[in-house]
Amino acid sequence: MSREPEASSAQTVRYEVDSEGIALITIHRPEKHNALNRQVLAELDRYFWQARQDEDVKGIILTGAGDKSFCAGADVQQFTELDAYSGHRFALYGQAVFNRVEEMPKPVVAAVNGYALGGGFELAMACHLRVAADHAVFGLPEVSLGLIPGFGGTQRLPRLIGRGLATELILTAERISARRAFEIGLVNRVVPIEHLLDSARELVHAIVSKAPVAVALALEALRQSDLPLRQGLRLEAALFGQACATADFREGVSAFLERRKASFKGR
């Protein structure tokens, strides 16, 4: 692919696509630790949509500007306006944006470059994989503010690390290091900050070299791995059937039998 990186100057989120089809989405509000106000959420949503629609984009890396914070959560300034009704709406909106991240049919890797707190941690959880800088810090401080996590934390964290540890992290609002996050299976890799994006790129490359439709179907199956077992197995079988109908499946098998590298077309 010969496309040069393209960059936009949107105010709070930056979007660029490199010549290998990896989109880099950067939350760019470093003076506020990349906190999520409505504008950031809307721009994130827009760029994830763009990355989804652009056939040249094969995978996505999400990060924060600077080396202090990936994202320090929802913008606490905006909390002063919230009541029962608007709080409910706000949580539903944030969840909808993060659901669309999770439902991306292309791999999404969070490159966690510092604090991932509250909604920032929840956003990292909505990504398919997480690579963290070794100084990154994860935490859900909501109960310290008289709140609970509202952008998916009470649901995604127990699914990722089990209910016992998730209960402790949510109820104590304890912050944990990148190393600890790795030990409990929350992040896939921990690297020095200077290698963070390269490590995330390496992970995306390892995935995008595989059959794209198979990757999308595997993501769909994994997303639903909290279904009751029999139901989950039925879904897996149906998605397996869909994979069998692809040209890439025939190509993958032929390439294996002919001892050559497969050339996938994404069909």
Residues 6+ away with beta carbon under 8 Å from 237: none
CB-closest chain residue to ligand COA: 118
Residue nearer to ligand COA on the CB measure, 75 or 236: 75
**Total binding residues toward ligand COA, as defined by CB under 6 A:** 17
CB of 265 to ligand COA, least distance (A): 44
d(CA 158, CA 163): 4
Residues 6+ away with beta carbon under 8 Å from 231: none
Contact between 75 and ligand COA per CB under 6 A = yes
CB of 46 to ligand COA, least distance (A): 21
Contact between 204 and ligand COA per CB under 6 A = no
- Choosing from 17, 35, 112, 208, the residue that interacts with ligand COA (CB under 6 A) is 35
**Per CB under 6 A, which of residues 134..163 are in contact with ligand COA?**
141-142, 145, 147
Residues 6+ away with beta carbon under 8 Å from 233: none
Residues 6+ away with beta carbon under 8 Å from 163: none
What the block records as the tokens of 265 is 């077309």
Which residues have a catalytic role annotated?
122, 142
Contact between 196 and ligand COA per CB under 6 A = no
CB of 67 to ligand COA, least distance (A): 12
Q: Measured on CA atoms in the order 74, 75, 80, 83, is the torsion positive or negative?
A: negative
Contact between 76 and ligand COA per CB under 6 A = yes
Contact between 115 and ligand COA per CB under 6 A = yes
One DSSP character per residue, 42-53 reads: HHHHHHHHHHHH
- Choosing from 74, 127, 170, 197, the residue that interacts with ligand COA (CB under 6 A) is 74
Piece of 38-46, 54-62, 73-81, 100-108 that binds ligand COA (CB under 6 A): 73-81
Residue 25: enclosing H or E segment and its boundaries?
strand 22-27
d(CA 213, CA 105): 8
CB of 112 to ligand COA, least distance (A): 13
d(CA 193, CA 181): 16
Contact between 118 and ligand COA per CB under 6 A = yes
d(CA 60, CA 106): 7
What the block records as the tokens of 253 is 């098998």
Contact between 189 and ligand COA per CB under 6 A = no
Write out the residues near ligand COA by the rule CB under 6 A: 32-33, 35, 69, 72-77, 115, 117-118, 141-142, 145, 147
